Amino acid sequence: MELLYVVLLAAGGVPAALLLLLVLGVIYYDFTWTKIPPEFDQPLKLRVIYWGGLVAFTLGKICESLGICRQVDFISFSMSFMTARLDPSLFAKDLLFDGVPVRVYQPKAPSAGQRKGMVLIHGGAGMVGSIDFYQDICNRIAKEADVVLVAIGYGLSPEHLYPSQYKQCLAATAHFLQNAEIYGVDPSQVIIFGDSAGGNFTSVVAQQLTKRPDLPKLRAQALIYACVQAMDFNLPSYVQNANMLLMGRETALYFCLRYLTKDTALKDDLLRGFHVPDDFRLKYRKWVSVDNIPEKLKRGHQQVPLAPYKPEVYKQFPEMLEETFSSLFAEDRIIKELPETFIVSCEYDVFRDDSLLYKKRLEDCGVKVRWFHAEQGFHGVLNFADKGPFTFPAGVEIVDRIIDFVNSL
């Protein structure tokens, strides 16, 4: 180890040596604090991805502390190196839909009639992510499902504060529905989909569109490991995957608070449930219950009661329980108007049970739901559906299932 340090110091100087120390520290942290279940098929590949992400996360934090740039900007910069080229069978054009940046992907091959349309709302905790980062996914879906696909480049926090993300996505989607025929799309055949935070925004946009009788109705929505409630962070999936790589429970709470520009020191209060008023617990406990989780996924889990309500904690982030943040809590009259829905959950994902709770809620209100559970899936796996040696079969299968769902409509 000493010899390697000397070699690096001579070859690249102090920066290389410090980077080596950071990488070694990240690896030590990984094996000390994280946990990959023994049933997971490709642990080393996932660890390498995690190491890269944690290095970027840490370097971003250092840059932020030194006043060089913000942490989220550094992470976004790091992600920009993973952009795919446009598929040669597609046209792509960057436009503004009601002032919101979008990229429209269209197959070059002529169509006998109007095509279906899709709207993608990307993930990234509302703070990172971009159209470019999702171009590989857009390429494949637009090509293989033969659709016109609109990817929305909504503004990120903290420049654009909640709830501007969903509002921008709603504005862009409404514009597309109104002008679908210009792009050769049947306005009655538009599907909206998103992953992670993008899945949350998708669910909110779909709900808001039920209040717009002036617009064509959505044909369907697809929610990929969406987070849809901020009431209980002790559901089975949050406990089972608390220390999972890429998105553990504390990481999820950290990004949630950063997105809302709140003090991240409050994550323990959030975890214990101090923020949930008593009347809210009484009204919505039937929807946030382990009774709605399949037995095989509970694995003997016993529901952890929320800690006593503290009004001073609730006042720190009341928006977290609003339906425009926690879409699970929309009223029945809204849920009943939602279109056919495709839900994807992943076994090794803290948000797995959010997907299952929303699935149950939709079914109870008479909404047609199709569900796919990725047994080897983890949070973010969609972004590793076409990443060369870092491709995961679960990511490939999720994209396959999305395409199958669209083709079946």
Separation CA 332–CA 142 (nearest Å): 33
Tokens encoding 282 = 């009484």
Tokens encoding 237 = 């999936």
Sheet-wide strand order for 220-224: 90-97, 100-107, 147-152, 115-121, 185-195, 220-224, 340-348, 369-378
Query: Which of 122, 175, 275, 379 is the catalytic position?
Result: 379
Query: Which of 87, 195, 232, 349 is the catalytic position?
Result: 349
Local structure of residue 331 (DSSP, 8 states): -
Beta-carbon contacts of residue 215 (< 8 Å; ≥ 6 apart): 174, 177, 178, 209
136 is catalytic: no
408 is catalytic: no
Separation CA 178–CA 182 (nearest Å): 9
Tell me the longest C-alpha to C-alpha distance in the chain: 71
Q: Which of 283-287's residues contact partners 24+ apart within 8 Å by CB, and which partners?
A: 284/231, 284/328, 284/329, 287/229, 287/328, 287/329, 287/357, 287/360, 287/361
Beta-carbon contacts of residue 257 (< 8 Å; ≥ 6 apart): 263, 264, 266, 267, 270, 317
Place of tokens 């001073």: 312
Query: Which of 196, 326, 327, 355 is the catalytic position?
Result: 196
Would you say the C-alpha torsion 76, 77, 79, 85 has a positive or negative sign?
Answer: positive
Local structure of residue 157 (DSSP, 8 states): T
355 is catalytic: no
Q: Which amino acid makes up residue 33? A: W
Which residue(s) pair with 152 in the sheet? 102, 121
Separation CA 93–CA 86 (nearest Å): 11
Three-state secondary structure call for residue 404: helix
Separation CA 4–CA 361 (nearest Å): 57
Question: Which are the catalytic amino acids?
Answer: 196, 349, 379
